[in-house]
Amino acid sequence: MCGDWLQGTSNRQEIVASNIDGTPSLPLVPYKIDVTTGDRKGAGTEANVHIVLYGDNGDSGVRVLDGPGNLFERKQTDNFGFKTVDLGNIKKIRIGHDNSVFGPGWFLDKVVVTNEKTNQQWFFLCGKWLAKDEEDDLSLW
């Protein structure tokens, strides 16, 4: 059962299988995502950023990282959160942007993922450009 409006820029909603009474078959776990943009000239981006978490028990699916304010600016850490089924030990992430604006290059410093139920954290250090016109070609999936 969804019982909620589908909203947001991604037009996607994760709907977990539930019992007839509406209780989820698997418990949902809140994850906090801290994304730090690096300290380089032009490091920020206005493009739409998305992430996938991959764990022992599957993946989160594509999640758009959006919210109020001016996100992904130089030397700034932005915080996001979402609930999904327990992914277990997070093995890797896939993060990128849609190249949707002029000069979309982004210098990603790091991502920290926290399972807010257990407080376990995983650190993903990047320190690279996600841009077609910089040292890497990582901006598109």
Residue 58's domain comprises: 28-130
Check: CB of residue 111 under 8 Å from CB of residue 41.
Answer: no
Whether residue 114 lies inside any domain: the answer is yes
Instruction: Tell me if 7 is assigned to some domain.
Output: no
Residues 6+ apart with CB under 8 A from 7: none
Place of tokens 């996938």: 52
So what's the pLDDT on residue 101? 85
Q: Considering its fold, how many domains does the chain have in total? A: 1
Average confidence (pLDDT) over 82-98: 95
Q: Which pair of tokens denotes residue 112?
A: 């920290």
pLDDT tier for residue 115 given thresholds of 50, 70 and 90: very high
The pTM score is 0.82
Domain membership of residue 35 (yes or no) is yes
- Say which DSSP state 48 is in: P
Has residue 20 been placed in a domain? no
Q: Quick one: which of 43, 104, 51 has its CA closest to 73?
A: 43
Distance CA 46, CA 42 (A): 11
pLDDT at 6: 43
pLDDT at 12 over 60: no
Residue 50 is predicted with a pLDDT of: 97
Evaluate if residue 4 carries a pLDDT over 60.
no
* Within a domain: 109: yes
Sign of the four-CA dihedral 118, 66, 45, 133: positive
Q: For position 120, which CATH number holds?
A: 2.60.60.20
Select the more confidently predicted residue: 17 or 135. 17
Of residues 5 and 68, more confidence is placed in: 68
